Amino acid sequence: MGVAGRGCPRAAPALLLLLLLLLLLLTAAVPPYRGRAEGPPEDVDECAQGLDDCHINALCENTPTSYKCSCRPGYQGEGRQCEDIDECENELNGGCVHDCLNIPGNYRCTCFDGFMLAHDGHNCLDVDECLENNGGCQHTCLNVMGSYECRCQEGFFLSDNQHTCIHRSEEGLSCMNKNHGCSHICMEAPKGSVACECRPGFELAKNQRDCILTCNHGNGGCQHSCEDTAEGPECSCHPRYKMHSDGRSCLEREDIALEVMESNTTSVADGDKRVKRRLLMETCAVNNGGCDRTCKDTSTGVHCSCPVGFTLQMDGKTCKDIDECQTRNGGCDHFCRNTVGSFDCSCKKGFKLLTDEKSCQDTNECSVNNGGCQQVCVNTVGSYECHCHSGYKLHWNKKDCVVSCDLSCIVKRTEKRLRKAIRTLRKAAHREQLHLQLSGVNLEVAKKSPRTSERQIESCAMGQDHGGNQCVSCRAGTYYDGAQERCILCPNGTFQNEEGQITCEPCPRPGSPGTLKTPEAWNVSECGGLCQPGEYSADGFTPCQPCARGTFQPEAGRTSCFPCGGGLPTKHPGATSFQDCETRVQCSPGHFYNTTTHRCIRCPAGTYQPEFGKNHCVSCPGNTTTDFDGSTNITQCKNRRCGGELGDFTGYIESPNYPGNYPANTECTWTINPPPKRRILIVVPEIFLPIEDDCGDYLVMRKTASSNSVTTYETCQTYERPIAFTSRSKRLWIQFKSNEGNSARGFQVPYVTYDEDYQELIEDIVRDGRLYASENHQEILKDKKLIKALFDVLAHPQNYFKYTAQESREMFPRSFIRLLRSKVSRFLRPYK
């Protein structure tokens, strides 16, 4: 979050010294003027060559024989020395009705919280906080000068956070009773009584029930100046304005404005020109204020901000992409890919990305056409396996099943292997070289070499080749050739899917060499000549025949075709999908075709179907499920997990399936039990609950599950304006409940437990309307990174030293730091 501009700072003394030294060097480097033999002397432009001694805040003007220095606007002096003019020191406060801020060469007017700067750059106008998100009020928002108030409907009272409304109890003598009598805040007191407190900026009246407004809240309701008196705030106006009949607002006096324009041209008029010129130079209307992305005009200049996924750099203007994948893999379960301004999560094969766009859940491949298995499909984590019934074995394509080898088959295979072994032995004997393997040890019997004097190179085991100074196994797709003593590629028509082998296996039905894909086949499927989708053969290789009418096959290399079922024909032979079957009706997404009844059936809960004309539904991944039957998309598969005991110091509660829509008919319960002498602070950045459901979906925070226990927070509506509050009880029971009606994104609500010695300070901060009055402050309460930093310090104060002062200034706007500083100072020095 960027910090608003503060104008141009004065040059540091070290920088001025460096500039003076450079000036002396440049002066020494310029050769002296020697004149011409004839004619007038040539003029030297001292300003252009940097030979002048004008002040850094002065302008240099070249003259025919010399130069002239004059101070820039906003400065005074004779040119060689210039001092800043403090426009705020005059009796008109620089024309500002609230605060006047002097800056080098200029000044700015700023307004109190609850006001905004008018277009003239001097006057301050009331901000109607109720226009945006109802001021954050749950029921009624009432705008007043400099502030606003939340009010509740009959039967409710305003909670301590001064925004949400709590249903009044009909019985009891506690703060939950509808007649507790406190004007603002009701606190439980010993022996069943109550004690009243006031919001910041108010004082408790003598009757200990009512609250009296002071100038510390909303400027006392005054547009310009406020002074506390025994009768309450007294308003007055800037000299250029007159009081409105309401006693609070101020109107510009035309006669005084005219008099000022005529008689004070050197002071206020010039100041006005400088302000207008400065505002023109630093406005979003000119070059977007120099901002990379979003620019906003404020009373202190332009304020640059960056969209989500970018961070504002030290210059306060430039936005840099955040590589979210560098931090905890972006929260992705499997793969994270950074993009400009965002990032994408993806999953390994066999997994599906859930609606939170981060989590990966196993896909049940067996739910779609039995995974393509001819007989039995078994789902595994991230994959699946096909199995065969007794008497069958799995085909090389890992999906079809073929009859197991009987006794006659075994005899033929053994005979074939023996013949192959004999051929290998004959070849080895012919080369006077024989390799044996006994008890797992490779031995070689060979004719002794007569060259015994030479150092023998250690031989590698069979199936290995020399790789530098060590032996390496021949990789899949190759075999070890004893004659060449090296690994070579499997020739066309053969394959090898294991390492360290001395032969390659022939392809089951290689056909002609021209049909093979490539040498170095590492799998039987690489042999080539596979039957294409819509075809089949006894072994899955050519020659193939098309699937007969009434059957289809979507995969290559299969030994059979799937029947459409129910006696359904196909539109043509060689069908590749069930959609080629001529069904009696076309089923829409969310349905599947039942080949027994020849009707479209809604996909049962926990499954979905996004396409037309399918004969199956897809199971939701992992432990997700759908709210109802007939689902059409994986996004309708929702995670229902929620609730539980929460941590001691920091954590969060979130609706199930967040940030996706929460499921229907769900109920979640959390409990927060802080350690001894700690209290709970909660921030609700935003919450999305459909108001159309007539409060069928709601979130409530109480001391216990009893409906009569002390309630801290309760809502059944959407609020995009953030709010912070402390728990009214030392422990919290939290419940979220949804009905079967509309759904929404729900919420993610962080909390922190803090030392109860800071209770007064924390409550003073969260009850102050200025915490929510500024858009910048609202952005802080919605920023997960900033809230995490604040909560980290609140939970563990020693962690404050992890954050430098520079980091704090970069993370938080100046107004927010000023607000906290004033609160902390008053808390630490209450009597000063």
Tokens 């309760």, residue located: 714
- For residue 277, pLDDT beyond 50: no
Q: Tens digit of pLDDT for each residue in 127-169? A: 888 888 788 888 899 988 888 888 888 878 787 778 888 776 6
Instruction: Specify the DSSP class assigned to residue 662.
Output: P
With 70 as the cut, is the pLDDT of residue 665 above it?
yes
Mean pLDDT within 56-72 = 88
Can you give the C-alpha Rg of the chain in angstroms?
41
Q: What is the pLDDT of residue 548?
A: 94
Q: Out of 217-221, 336-340, 465-469, 736-740, pick the least confident.
A: 465-469
DSSP 147-183: EEEEE--TTEEE-TTSSSEEEPBSS-SSTTBTT---S
State the residue for tokens 């324009």. Answer: 261
pLDDT at residue number 138? 86
Residue 690 confidence class, pLDDT cut points 50, 70, 90: confident
815: Cα separation from own chain's centroid: 25
Residue 201 has pLDDT above 90, yes or no: no
| Mean pLDDT for all residues in the chain | 78
Residue 336 or residue 514, greater confidence? 336
Kind plus residue range of the DSSP H or E element containing 274: helix 270-281
Position 824, amino acid:
V
Closest CA to 295 of 100, 580, 4, 18: 4
Question: Quick one: average pLDDT of 15-25?
Answer: 35
Stretch 73-85: mean pLDDT: 89
Helix (H) or strand (E) holding 787: helix 784-795
Buried b (16+ CB within 10 A) or exposed e, 20-55: eeeeeeeeeeeeeeeeeeeeeeeeeebbeeeebebb
Q: What is the identity of the amino acid at 451?
A: R
Please say if the pLDDT value at position 360 is more than 90: no
Using alpha carbons, select from 137, 166, 161, 159 the residue that is nearest to residue 149: 137
Distance CA 50, CA 27 (A): 8
Q: Rounded mean pLDDT of 55-73?
A: 88
Write out the two tokens for 225.
């100046």
pLDDT at 318: 86
Instruction: Write the burial class of residue 421 (CB in 10 Å: 0-12 exposed, 13-18 middle, 19+ buried).
Output: exposed
Is 635 a residue whose pLDDT tops 50?
yes
> Per the confidence metrics, is the pTM higher than 0.85?
no
- 628 has a pLDDT exceeding 50: yes
Q: Which residue has the higher pLDDT, 158 or 654?
A: 654
Confirm if 791 and 799 have CB atoms less than 8 A apart.
Answer: no
Q: How confident is the model at residue 510 (pLDDT cuts 50, 70, 90)?
A: very low
Please choose, from the candidates 633, 664, 554, 616, the residue with its C-alpha nearest in 3D space to the C-alpha of residue 352.
633
Three-class SS of residue 399?
A: coil
109-118, 357-366, 469-478: the lowest-pLDDT one: 469-478
Weakest mean pLDDT among 25-39, 433-447, 791-805: 25-39
pLDDT of residue 536: 92
pLDDT of 553 above 90: yes
pLDDT of residue 436: 59
Distance (Å, whole) CA 277 – CA 273? 6
Q: Rounded to an integer, what distance in angstroms lies between the CA atom of residue 700 and that of residue 737?
A: 9
Average pLDDT over residues 626-650: 86
Of 29-43, 496-510, 596-610, the one with minimum mean pLDDT is 29-43
Residue 340 pLDDT grade (very low, low, confident, very high; cuts 50, 70, 90): confident
Contacts of 577 (CB under 8 A, 6+ apart): 552, 554
Could you write out the DSSP letters of every residue in 642-654? --EEPPSSEEEEE
Joined together, the tokens standing for residue 687 give 């919450």
317 close to 329: Cβ distance less than 8 angstroms: no
Residue, of 26 and 490, whose pLDDT is higher: 490
Where is average pLDDT lowest: 74-83, 247-256, 543-552, 699-708? 247-256
Residue 725 near residue 160 (C-beta atoms within 8 A)? yes
- Rounded Cα distance between 305 and 783, Å, is 13
Question: 692 φ, ψ to 5°?
Answer: -65, -20
The more confidently predicted of residues 194 and 585 is 585
Residues 6 or more apart in contact with residue 515 via CB below 8 angstroms: 528, 529, 542
Tell me what percent of the residues of the chain surpass a pLDDT of 70: 77
Which domains are delineated in the chain?
46-84 (2.10.25.10), 324-359 (2.10.25.10), 644-828 (2.60.120.290)
- The yes-or-no verdict on residue 21 having pLDDT over 50 is no
What CA–CA distance (Å, rounded) separates 549 from 805?
78
Strand partners, 485: none
Span 296-317, average pLDDT: 77
Q: Which two tokens stand for residue 216?
A: 């510390």
Stronger pLDDT, 629 or 15, i.e. the higher one: 629
Say if residue 330's pLDDT is above 60. yes
User: Which of 470, 473, 478 shows the shortest CA–CA distance to 462?
Assistant: 473
Spell out the residues 6+ positions from residue 490 whose beta carbon is closer than 8 angstroms to its own.
Answer: 477, 478, 479, 496, 504, 519, 520, 521
The residue among 565, 592, 591, 561 whose CA lies nearest residue 576 is 561
Residue 269 has pLDDT above 70, yes or no: no
Q: What percent of the chain has pLDDT over 90?
A: 16
Compute the CA torsion angle 792, 796, 799, 804 (nearest 10 deg).
60
Looking at residue 519, its pLDDT comes to 53
> What is the C-alpha separation between 184 and 829, in angstroms, rounded?
26
Token representation of residue 170: 């009909």
Distance CA 36, CA 375 (A): 109
Per-residue pLDDT band at 737 (split at 50, 70, 90):
very high
Element holding 489 (H helix, E strand): strand 486-489
Count, residues in the chain: 832
pLDDT band at 457 (very low <50, low <70, confident <90, very high): very low
355: which residues sit within 8 A by CB, 6+ positions away? 634, 635, 637, 638, 657, 660, 661
Tens of pLDDT, residues 562-593: 999 999 999 899 999 999 999 989 899 999 99
Q: Which residues, 6 or more positions from 796, have their beta carbon under 8 angstroms from its beta carbon? A: 649
Distance CA 683, CA 137 (A): 15
Long-range contacts of 773-779 (CB under 8 A, 24+ apart): 773/113, 773/114, 773/127, 773/129, 773/147, 774/113, 774/813, 774/815, 774/816, 776/1, 776/303, 776/813, 776/815, 776/816, 777/813, 777/815, 777/816, 777/819, 778/721, 778/722, 779/1, 779/305
Residues sharing a CB contact under 8 Å with residue 19, sequence separation 6 or more, in sequence order? 11, 56
Is the pLDDT higher at 354 or at 7?
354
387 has pLDDT over 90 = yes
Question: Please, is 544 exposed, middle or buried when counting C-beta atoms within 10 Å of its C-beta (0-12, 13-18, 19+)?
Answer: buried
Distances (CA, A) of 825 to 571, 755, 773, 819, 832: 83, 18, 21, 10, 9
For residues 387 and 423, which has the higher predicted lDDT (pLDDT)?
A: 387
Of the ranges 177-191, 506-520, 794-808, the best mean pLDDT one: 177-191
The β-bridge relationship of strands 667-672 and 644-645 is parallel
Q: Distance between the two ends of the chain, CA-based, in angstroms?
A: 33
pLDDT of residue 564: 93
pLDDT above 90: residue 547: yes
**Do 668 and 766 contact (CB within 8 A), yes or no?**
no
Flag whether pLDDT at 5 surpasses 80: no
State how beta strands 115-117 and 124-126 pair: antiparallel
Beta bridge partners of 337: 344
